[in-house]
Amino acid sequence: MDISKARKYLKSRQSDMQHLTSFASMYNTAKARYSDIRLRIKTGRENSPGELSEKEVYALLDFAVLTYLKNHNALPADVSDLFVGKPSLESLKERAIGWLSV
């Protein structure tokens, strides 16, 4: 796995995971955060079911990008669109779900 691609994405996002030393630790951290979000969605705590906070959407994005990178050894072609303007949380969520389903 090319850790430099993952680190480039995480650094662009200013994620706290950019300093982890291996792709496996980046991926496992993102996966654990994603699992927590899925559990919260299923139980319907705090927000209404399916509604995510900004922090949760970005955690979902991190997991989606790292999963895509793991499966295809490349970043998604449209990942740079995340850094243009201020996309809505709903569009970010939809994009992440799309990357997870590829």
> In 8-34, which positions are buried (b, 16+ CB within 10 angstroms) versus exposed (e)?
ebbeebebebeebeebeebbebbeebb
Give residue-wise pLDDT tens across range 70-94: 999 999 998 988 888 888 889 998 9
Say if residue 67's pLDDT is above 90: yes
Q: Is residue 3 packed enough to be buried (19+ CB in 10 Å), middle (13-18) or exposed (0-12)?
A: middle
Give residue-wise pLDDT tens across range 1-35: 578 888 888 898 888 898 898 999 999 999 999 99
What does the alpha-carbon distance between residue 91 and residue 102 come to, in Å, rounded to a whole number? 17
Read off the pLDDT band of 39 (50, 70, 90): confident
pTM: 0.85
| pLDDT at site 48 | 57
What does the alpha-carbon distance between residue 8 and residue 21 come to, in Å, rounded to a whole number? 13
